[in-house]
Amino acid sequence: MTDQFSQGISIEKFSIKKSDFNAIQLYDQATRSHRDEAHTFHILEKGSIVIEIDFQQYEILAPSVVYMHPNQVHRILDFSNVTVCSLALKNENLNPTYLDFLEEIVPVKPLALTKDTYINISDTFSLCLKFSTLKNNKLYHLLLKDSCNALLVLIVSTFLNQNKYSDKLSRAGLITKYFKQLLEKNYHTIKRPTQYAKSLNISTHYLNESVKYSTGSSVSQHIKDRIILEAKRLLYHTDKSVKEISFELGYEDYPYFSRLFSKTAGMSAITFRNKRHD
């Protein structure tokens, strides 16, 4: 993003030819796994991309939109000649209500756009891009921030509408939602279902019953899955040792963490790292 997050917002439209990446260095940079420092939205106007997000591979055809949370690790695997509209916003520039929506829908798969929805999003993006050039305007940052937030909420509403998220959750659904929000904030430090139940002022049995009814998996499984996902991200994205990752995720008992990873992921942490870097 060429403006390097001036005031925490970046917006850009660009076209890339595959032939531009014949040089080994450019290709390596384009396909290297990374995390972004902001919430990013990529509207694919033309072409196709094969991308890996949190170790899931997706083939995306235009017109589509991709949302990636700052926590998510991703890399491009392949692409044709593409035209992309990109928006990145750091937390401090997000409307707090919109940030809650983003935390609720992540992880979300890339979304193909209908013709009408694409036109609405594209027109709004063009307006935001135009505002980004008005740097002499005395209210430039407010103008850009508010317009980009409007674009963001338009995109988020598209995800919500097309994925049929319900505004009227059952009691079990609400408990599961609040549990997942707590888990996302505390998985580094809180490992036991009883601690989450206590935070929600309900019994451990009721929490587990509600979560299992809504998702098909137990509270313990959700906790393990979230921890192992972060471990995979760190194994793939950083050069930290398995022991360092164990400590970072709140496990002083390194052998226990190693056994937990192997049991949950179906392979050792070292094997996973080596496999991903093959």
* pTM recorded for the entire structure: 0.83
**pLDDT at residue 23 greater than cutoff 80:** no
- The CATH H-level (homologous superfamily) assignment of domain 171-276 is Homeodomain-like (1.10.10.60)
pLDDT digits (tens, 9 = 90+) for 110-163: 999 999 999 999 999 999 999 999 999 999 999 999 999 999 999 999 998 876
Determine the Cα–Cα distance for residues 200 and 179; give it in Å rounded to an integer: 8
In the structure, what pLDDT confidence band is assigned to residue 40 with cuts at 50, 70 and 90? very high
pLDDT digits (tens, 9 = 90+) for 172-206: 988 998 999 899 999 999 999 999 999 999 999 99
Determine the Cα–Cα distance for residues 221 and 223; give it in Å rounded to an integer: 5
Average pLDDT, rounded, for the chain? 89
Residue ranges of the domains in the chain? 6-162, 171-276
Architecture label for domain 6-162: Sandwich (2.60)
Q: Which residue has the tokens 């589509």?
A: 64
Share of the chain above pLDDT 70, in %: 91
pLDDT digits (tens, 9 = 90+) for 77-105: 888 899 999 999 999 999 999 988 888 88
Q: What three-state secondary structure class fits 176?
A: helix
Sign of the torsion formed by the C-alpha atoms of 229, 191, 197 and 219: positive
pLDDT digits (tens, 9 = 90+) for 253-266: 999 999 999 999 99
**pLDDT at residue 267 greater than cutoff 80:** yes
Q: Which residue has the tokens 């139940």?
A: 197
Helix, strand, coil share of the chain (percent; to 5): 55, 20, 30
pLDDT of residue 95: 92
Domains 6-162 and 171-276 share a fold: no
pLDDT of residue 107: 86
CA angle, 20 then 25 then 27, to 5°? 50
Span 33-47, average pLDDT: 92
In the structure, what pLDDT confidence band is assigned to residue 250 with cuts at 50, 70 and 90? very high
Strand order in the sheet with 9-16: 9-16, 82-89, 39-46, 64-68, 111-112
